[in-house]
Amino acid sequence: MKSLFRAIRYSSVGIFLAGIFTTIVGCSNEDQLRALILFLLLMLSGGGQDAPEEIVRNLFVHHDNGEVFRAELDGSNPLNLGEPGNFFEIPAGFGLDPVGKRIYIAGTVNDIVGSANLNGGDAIDLGNPGGFLSIPVDVAIDSSAGKMYILNGGARGVVRTDLDGGNPEDLGNPGGLLSGAFRIALDTAAGKMYITNSSAGNVIRADLNGTTPEDLGNLGGLITAPMGIALDTAAGKMYVTDQSAAPLVRADLNGTNPEDLGNLGGLLDSGAFSVAIDPNAGRIYFADRANNRVLRSDLNGNNAVNLGGFGVSPGGVMDVHLLLP
């Protein structure tokens, strides 16, 4: 339908508009007249082709210059959404709310969190909820509960708030185990959060309120400086990227049965800053910051491909997320 609209707009726009205006002038039914006028406005404005509700399956990429990109899952048709709101100083991580159709971004230097719609518009500075943010590095969203989890860097712990920044809770440093927190992932069905602890070389798990902390260790000695983490809860697996000789590791959600999935055939020559999975398609996506590109592979690390670069140099891709139905 959109392609038909575009063809009408660009190949026979004069005839088309003349016909619409003639119909409007001759229309006596108020409801029909309103519908015709709305239809005409949509044509003149581009048919709402970037409306968030029409986005179903997309790859979202965050560059360390603050820009957010949206693309097809194969990396095609990239669209630079700019830096939403232009109020973030060195944003490091972001999260997606597929229900509310918004992006949530952590501003690492100025200790804020903000949100925007999936086009990068309607940006809102949510400030520093409760004054609890200190070098926030990542955000994870629990859409069903209407909550966001903001991970402070280092040993500064986790903050939970409503999606509008209200009702902030300082969940602290689970068990005092965090020393170099970098990424956070949620298993909302099981009521658990997972955090990569880069400086200590381990993964930490805790309840969503920060209690019952567990040190899941270094996954069989395969990780020394973990960065990204993604969960395949249906399969009971976690995927962790690491700045070591084992750039991609898969393990059970309790940290057992670790597998070294290698370096994607040599494509992943340094630790990916972030990882996202499409379990239904059996694909993993990697934020390869060192080479300013996104990589994709099968869940076992095979059939790796380079989806290309996003953003300008110097700098690189910091974070990657998938918007899936």
C-beta of residue 189 within 8 angstroms of C-beta of residue 231: no
Which amino acid would we find at residue 173? N
Q: Tell me what pLDDT residue 162 has.
A: 98
- Residues above pLDDT 70, as percent of the chain: 81
Of residues 162 and 49, more confidence is placed in 162
Cα–Cα nearest to 280, from 220, 232, 227, 224: 232
Residue 210 has pLDDT above 90, yes or no: yes
- Per-residue pLDDT, averaged over 269-274, amounts to 87
Confidence of residue 285 (pLDDT cuts 50, 70, 90): very high
Cα–Cα nearest to 269, from 311, 250, 241: 241
What is the model's pTM? 0.82
The sign of the dihedral angle between the CA atoms of 278, 284, 290, 293 is negative
Rounded Cα distance between 60 and 73, Å, is: 9
C-beta of residue 218 within 8 angstroms of C-beta of residue 235: no
Residue with tokens 């029909």: 32
Residue 309 has pLDDT above 60, yes or no: yes
Rounded Cα distance between 179 and 244, Å, is: 18
Q: Tell me what pLDDT residue 245 has.
A: 65
Q: Tell me what pLDDT residue 308 has.
A: 87
Residue with tokens 């309790």: 254
Confidence of residue 301 (pLDDT cuts 50, 70, 90): very high
Q: Give the C-alpha distances (Å, rounded to integers) separating 199 from 37, 125, 152.
A: 60, 30, 14
Among 56-60, 105-109, 222-226, 313-317, the minimum mean pLDDT is found in 313-317
How high does pLDDT run on average in the chain? 83
Rounded Cα distance between 299 and 281, Å, is: 9
Residue 79 has pLDDT above 70, yes or no: yes
All residues at 6 or more sequence positions from 119 whose CB lies less than 8 Å from its CB, including other chains? 50, 51, 52, 70, 81
Residue 204 has pLDDT above 70, yes or no: yes
Residue 246: half-sphere exposure toward Cβ, Cα within 13 Å = 19
pLDDT in tens, 212-256: 999 999 999 999 999 999 999 999 999 999 987 679 999 999 999
**Count, residues in the chain:** 325
Q: Tell me what pLDDT residue 44 has.
A: 33
Residue 182: strand, helix, or coil: strand
Q: Tell me what pLDDT residue 58 has.
A: 92
Residue 310 has pLDDT above 90, yes or no: no
Give the strand pairing for 79-80 and 237-242.
unpaired
Give the strand pairing for 136-142 and 124-125.
unpaired
Rounded Cα distance between 70 and 236, Å, is: 29
pLDDT in tens, 5-47: 333 333 333 333 334 333 333 444 444 433 433 333 333 333 3
Q: Tell me what pLDDT residue 53 has.
A: 42
Two tokens, residue 16: 């088309």
Residue 40 CB neighbour total at 10 angstroms: 16
- Which strand (E) or helix (H) includes residue 98? none
